[in-house]
Amino acid sequence: MVMAIFLQKVKDFLKSQGLTEEDYKIELSKWYDYEVEGWGYTQIKITLVKQGVDKFSILESLTNLASKTLPKEVLQETAIIVE
């Protein structure tokens, strides 16, 4: 539930930056480390299709948004990637 709320905030943020849903793709996946029992992390990957978008500033803003939105336990096990 928390991740669904965060993903909606990500979409709202990208829209506020002038991007439409055709300008990006969001992939959500769960990765598990089988060598460390019970440990895994969530990966949120945003692929920007539109040229000329500053990926670093998008990543920085999404990282700040995550730190304000996600509980500490979830945040520690979440990776955000912007390509």
pLDDT in tens, 1-13: 899 999 999 999 9
Query: How many C-beta neighbours within 10 Å does residue 54 have?
Result: 12
- What is the pTM (predicted TM-score) of this model? 0.87
Q: Give the number of domains in the chain.
A: 1
Decide: 46 and 25 in contact? Cβ < 8 Å.
Answer: yes
pLDDT in tens, 26-76: 999 998 888 877 778 999 999 999 999 999 999 999 999 999 999 999 999
Structural domain harbouring 6? 2-82
CATH number at residue 56: 3.30.300
C-alpha distances in Å from residue 68, one per residue of 4, 10, 23, 37, 75: 15, 12, 25, 29, 10
